[in-house]
């Protein structure tokens, strides 16, 4: 086993480009995905309705370094899961590029994608839906091994499945059982074992803990961290739970209505959030220390992504919005400390610093 690990570490030696610079594990540029949600053609003709386009992902850019964990947060319906599905190829992008170690994989056909798939796997949100109820666990985990031809013969496959089950802290005997014989946390381990079966380098985790009990969440997160260390994995970790994202991520991107509004190292994002939306999100975390303090109530709801507001999409909910915010779309600008923020107010310096919206430091002490 130790030998295998050593071999894997070696294989994960960072890939560099011609100039000696490290190639990002994943580089996403100008990624867009629109969905046509119009009524059927006949209804549209009769009712004289225009086509309706839902902009699930509306131009996002980010990079994930090798061995890094990139967290993606945002409210329900902001396009987080669509990003995950675009990256693993479940959807084709409407526009933009997705580079896996320098190779564009956006919109490849099933055949063209085949060699890349082994290196790119996904862990799903609902452990009750992500395992085929009619299959034994050993067959579920063996599916990628068989599909990619990673082991020859039944004995070798069985051995590999047993090894994978032990990697996720289950026993080899569990392979004989059916998914319904396991708890949610155990099922998620099986799901992780399946994702690891093809020896991937990059795992897309779409809310892997949000269907689990809090105590089990921690187990799964720690398991994922251990696996990352052991196999040198890179994670894209999607969640709406900020505490979970803080715990596991190196860098965090905040999504709002199909756009990335802020990307920053996890520490920076949680100590000095810049974008008003990030602050609003942090404000909503229940916190014992803040008991009794007045909070800014979360104003409004996420607008309809079919008809997003003009300018900065966050302006209807933003307490700092002015005329420019209502008309001009803000561009993502890097700040000094590694944070990238798309906000006119931050750019102009008219939004006061402070950890949250509700506590703009000490109001009377400010100039």
Contact residues: another protein, CB under 8 A: 85, 88-90, 110, 113-114, 117, 120-122, 124-126, 129-134, 136, 143-144, 147-148, 173, 176-178, 181, 191, 194, 198
The nearer residue to another protein, 176 or 353, going by C-beta atoms, is 176
For the bound state, the minimum distance from the C-beta of residue 73 to another protein, rounded and expressed in Å, comes to 21
The nearer residue to another protein, 91 or 320, going by C-beta atoms, is 91
For the bound state, the minimum distance from the C-beta of residue 137 to another protein, rounded and expressed in Å, comes to 10
The nearer residue to another protein, 80 or 85, going by C-beta atoms, is 85
For the bound state, the minimum distance from the C-beta of residue 122 to another protein, rounded and expressed in Å, comes to 5
What Cα–Cα distance (Å) separates residue 130 from each residue in 20, 190, 206?
40, 10, 12
Q: What is the C-alpha to C-alpha distance for residues 222 and 215, in angstroms, rounded to an integer?
A: 11
Are the C-beta atoms of 25 and 17 separated by less than 8 Å?
Answer: no
Q: How far is CA 63 from the centre of its chain?
A: 12
What tokens appear for 346 in the block?
């931050």
For the bound state, the minimum distance from the C-beta of residue 325 to another protein, rounded and expressed in Å, comes to 37
The nearer residue to another protein, 77 or 308, going by C-beta atoms, is 77
- Count of CA atoms in the C-beta half-sphere (13 A) of 192: 29
For the bound state, the minimum distance from the C-beta of residue 218 to another protein, rounded and expressed in Å, comes to 22
The nearer residue to another protein, 198 or 219, going by C-beta atoms, is 198
The DSSP bridge pattern shows strands 53-64 and 251-256 to be unpaired
For the bound state, the minimum distance from the C-beta of residue 354 to another protein, rounded and expressed in Å, comes to 40
Three-state DSSP state, 188: helix
Strand ranges across the sheet with 103-104: 53-64, 26-36, 95-100, 103-104
The nearer residue to another protein, 74 or 89, going by C-beta atoms, is 89
For the bound state, the minimum distance from the C-beta of residue 2 to another protein, rounded and expressed in Å, comes to 28
The nearer residue to another protein, 15 or 90, going by C-beta atoms, is 90
Are the C-beta atoms of 290 and 362 separated by less than 8 Å?
Answer: no
Residues 6+ apart with CB under 8 A from 274: 262, 264, 335, 339, 341, 343, 346, 351
The nearer residue to another protein, 93 or 273, going by C-beta atoms, is 93
* Phi/psi at 31 (5° precision): -75, 125
Residues 6+ apart with CB under 8 A from 243: 285
For the bound state, the minimum distance from the C-beta of residue 175 to another protein, rounded and expressed in Å, comes to 9
Q: Which of 303, 361, 258 is nearest to 31 (CA)?
A: 258
Q: Which of 254, 185, 353, 78 is nearest to 193 (CA)?
A: 185
């Amino acid at each position: 086993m130790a030998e295998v690990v050593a071999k894997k570490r070696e294989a994960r030696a960072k890939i560099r480009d011609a100039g000696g610079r490290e190639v990002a594990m994943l580089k996403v540029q100008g990624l867009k995905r629109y969905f046509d949600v119009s009524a059927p053609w006949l209804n549209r003709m009769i009712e004289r309705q225009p086509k309706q386009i839902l902009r699930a992902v509306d131009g996002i850019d980010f990079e994930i370094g090798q061995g890094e964990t990139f967290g993606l947060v945002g409210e329900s319906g902001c396009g987080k899961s669509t990003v995950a599905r675009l990256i693993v190829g479940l959807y084709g992008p409407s526009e933009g590029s997705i580079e896996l170690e320098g190779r564009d994989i956006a919109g490849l056909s099933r055949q063209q994608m085949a060699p890349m798939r082994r290196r790119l796997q996904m862990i799903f949100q609902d452990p009750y839906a992500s395992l085929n109820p009619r299959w034994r666990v050993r067959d579920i985990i063996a599916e990628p091994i068989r599909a990619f031809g990673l082991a020859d013969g039944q004995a070798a496959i069985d051995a590999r499945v047993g090894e994978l089950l032990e990697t996720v802290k289950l026993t080899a005997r569990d392979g004989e059982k059916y998914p319904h014989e396991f708890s949610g946390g155990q099922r998620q381990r099986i799901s992780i074992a399946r994702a690891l079966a093809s020896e991937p380098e990059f795992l897309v985790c779409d809310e892997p803990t949000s269907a689990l009990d809090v105590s089990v969440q921690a187990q799964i997160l720690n398991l994922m961290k251990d696996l990352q260390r052991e196999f040198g994995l890179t994670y894209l970790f999607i969640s709406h739970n900020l505490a979970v994202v803080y715990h596991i991520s190196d860098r965090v991107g905040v999504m709002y209505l199909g756009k990335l509004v802020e990307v920053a190292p996890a520490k920076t994002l949680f100590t000095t959030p810049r974008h008003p939306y990030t602050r609003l999100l942090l404000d909503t975390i229940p916190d014992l220390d803040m008991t009794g303090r007045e909070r800014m109530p979360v104003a409004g709801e996420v607008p309809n992504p079919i008809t997003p507001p003009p300018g900065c999409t966050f302006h209807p909910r933003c307490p700092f919005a002015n005329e420019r915010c209502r008309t001009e779309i803000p561009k993502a600008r890097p700040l000094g400390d590694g944070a990238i923020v798309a906000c006119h107010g931050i750019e102009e310096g008219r939004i006061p610093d402070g950890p949250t919206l509700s506590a703009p430091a000490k109001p009377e002490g400010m100039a």
